[in-house]
Amino acid sequence: MGLFDFLFKRRKQDSDHSKQIQSEKVILESKSPLRTDKVISEPKSSFRKGIVSAQKVDLNNFSAKQLREKFIAFDVETTGLNPVQDRIIEIGAVIFCDGKPTKSFSTLINPGIKIPASASAVNHITNDMIFSAPDEVTAYKQFIEFLGGALTGDIMMCAHNARFDFNFLTNTLSRLGYDGDFKYIDTLSLARKRISGVENYKQSTLEAYFGLNNTEAHRAYSDAENCGQILVSIMDRMAFTGASPKQESECITSKKLSENELRVCAYIQNIIVESGGDAAYLRFRKSSADYVCVACLYPFIKFKFSKRGPYIILRKESTSKIALPSEPCIASEGGATFSRIYFSNISDLQPLISDIFALYKHNQQDLVSYLSEAPNSQEIVQGWMQQMISLSPADIIHLLSPDRSLVDPSSNRIPLSAITAISGADFELKTAFTLYDQGEAARKEGNIQEALSLFENSRLHGYHVPALYESYALAYRKIKDYEHEIQIIEEAIAHNPESAEVMERRKSRALELLIARQETQQRSIKSKQQAVSKNNSQKKPRGRAIIQTTDDGVIIKEFETVAAAVRETGINSKSIRDAANGVQKHAGGYRWIYKDCSSSQ
């Protein structure tokens, strides 16, 4: 017996069993008059009927650990709804590792029965398409090899409306003589618990909700891959890390919330209490990606203090209630159906109170159900709560008084009074945000002076987040204005202590560049001076120095060369040389003597 059959306890076939199988033929009928008979392998009585089970698993931090590492998303297309009488005609499966699809399996199957027109109308699979497809024995042998440890429950699986898919799968594998024990997550029931505000929970609706594209809906492979993406997106939204309780505790305690982050938490807790909610189970924690999660059993709100400024993540419909800057979320934050809403004061969140409270109520109802139904639920919940941050009424009072701006509108570059005059008490964050974006676009296009002007205007409107200062510094670095770069970095450190370490490194580099440039300039000046001095020291007159005298020997003037004497006196150069050489006595009425000869004379 081969290893494959041994692992899955398949009984050996009798030596003539294949002949018995070949004796049965089922002829597929079609509207087409020309068809070829297809031999269908149906198991005979000599086959051992397998024992296959499928167990639904709840999504929690323990199962999430396994899912984060690896899982298989799965989907089938069938001839009907009855898992005993009907058959699977297409299988699609995708292996996900670390939340990303890495390997896939897809095949049509010829089950030996005719596909009803009603089934083809849904999945668009026809009898002609499966005519040349592998039979069940061949297809499922390949599929079992692909599943690997999933058949024994070592690798978890997922499907949408998973009970339907696994009823068909377990019935088929059992009929073919396989044993198995599947463990799976049902994304349909999971979405019903964790996703609110959607019209229904069909896979196509959830695909639109998470911004997923399905070019071949109701085909097994495409549906399986998107089912896996939906599971990953839900885990991301619920902030499941897959860590053990000890690891999770270490992660939570190591990520301390800043005072500004605590003030946002306090504001959210306060509006929940004032709206009639109970804060007894409300807790806060900071994830490894620096998102602050507001949780009631599970996280229901996330916000983050980013380089561009603090923002809260809500459904994009919430943006219509406020006049604050916003942008679509990235995939790990929920995709295009969610928005980042930027704010400067916690009071900016006031128009969102009803949205925040609705999310809290949804989680609070789940918590009540969990506490009333799950065994040992109270101990489990209390254990998780102890690992997270809670705020007492005294903490709320302290953190919310006074209501300071989360983005400091003061600046050392322009007097505080000047900035206040421009921005007023409630400075225009949306205008400042727009100016910064325009400046960043100009900087990337190489229009540095325009970018610097826009950055300054954004700053004057009260935008003092790390992203602005970083762009400011990059612009100055581009034009090698290191003095202003250092100045803006020093202001950044004063306004944003949390980014001081990064900015200090940038400042050190700017200082190095500035010093290097000054040293280069000094070396250049010194080199020029030395060159001039050298030229002066090496410069020699072209000719002999000559002296103009009277007949009595009184020196009238010395000239460096005869040419110099000619230029000044206008006397013929030949006459001067002849007088100096004794050929004639005078030149121009004067006597002339070469200087190097005058000392000897």
**Pairing status of strand 546-549 against strand 326-328:** unpaired
| Distance set, CA 569 to CA 106, 117, 557, 559, 566 (Å) | 109, 123, 11, 11, 5
Q: Are 357 and 272 in contact (CB under 8 A)?
A: yes
* DSSP H or E segment with residue 482: helix 482-495
**Pairing status of strand 298-306 against strand 309-315:** antiparallel
Largest Cα span, the chain: 152
Catalytic residue among 160, 218, 461, 464: 218
Give the CA angle between residues 447, 449, 454 to the nearest 5°: 95
Q: Are 564 and 573 in contact (CB under 8 A)?
A: no
CA distance 277 to 264: 17
Closest to 182 in 3D by CA, of 159, 205, 161: 159
H helices present in 332-392, as ranges = 353-373, 377-386
Closest to 270 in 3D by CA, of 406, 394, 408, 405: 394
Residue entry with tokens 């097994």: 220
* 218 in active site: yes
Backbone angles phi, psi at 490, to 5 degrees: -60, -40
Q: Where does residue 399 rank: exposed (0-12), middle (13-18), buried (19+ CB within 10 A)?
A: buried
H helices present in 110-159, as ranges = 117-123, 127-130, 136-147
Q: Are 49 and 175 in contact (CB under 8 A)?
A: yes
Cα of 19 vs its chain's centroid, Å: 59
Active-site positions read 218
